[in-house]
Amino acid sequence: MTELPNFTIQANGDISKEFLKRGIQSFSQATHYIQNIDYGRNSNKDDLTTIFIDNKGTCSTKHALLKQLAKENEVEDIKLILGIFKMNALNTPKVENTLSKNLLQYIPEAHTYLKFGNSYFDFTKSGSSPNDFINDLLFETEIQPNEINQHKIEIHKVFLDNWLYKNSNIDYSLEELWKIREQCIQDLSE
């Protein structure tokens, strides 16, 4: 597997400066730091520096932050990817009860991660690995750090709407399916 480029962080932007304030000098140290802070939703997804205040982040905010760090340091070939995968009891055991209760084998879930060349990188939490989702990927597209909020939600909802249309045996509206998905996300935070 290819490794991510490890560069020295320069004080070229807000994100770079936040890492440097914490004594984090390289991209490798930054990925380690991000992977080891808690998993949880941020108070403001539109301001990536909120991760440093909240001391936590989601797959979206953590990977957008790392992509922005790379951009600030002129490393453009690290890509921020939005993938949609089959979230099920095998790859995400904490959602088993919610899926089972709602008679679903899986639910298409958006996941954000980094790609460099053909290699995948997941810094969502300690122990995260692309192997957790890569074999269950249904769709992926490159996005920018400023697209992790509304744009990501729109892509996800369009995908779910099409999935429901193609799977007419699943008797949920988009709104109902979104509520089940929200419960799954809640399950992951516990």
Do the beta carbons of residue 111 and residue 105 sit within 8 Å?
no
Average pLDDT over residues 157-161: 97
List the domain boundaries for the chain.
14-72, 83-189
Please tell me the total number of residues recorded for the chain in this structure.
190
Q: What is the pTM of this model?
A: 0.92
pLDDT tens by residue, 100-152: 999 999 999 999 999 999 999 999 989 888 988 999 999 999 999 999 999 99
For residue 1, the model assigns a pLDDT of 56
pLDDT tens by residue, 5-28: 999 999 999 999 999 999 999 999
User: Cα-flanking dihedrals φ and ψ of residue 29, to 5°?
Assistant: -65, -35
Average pLDDT, rounded, for the chain: 95
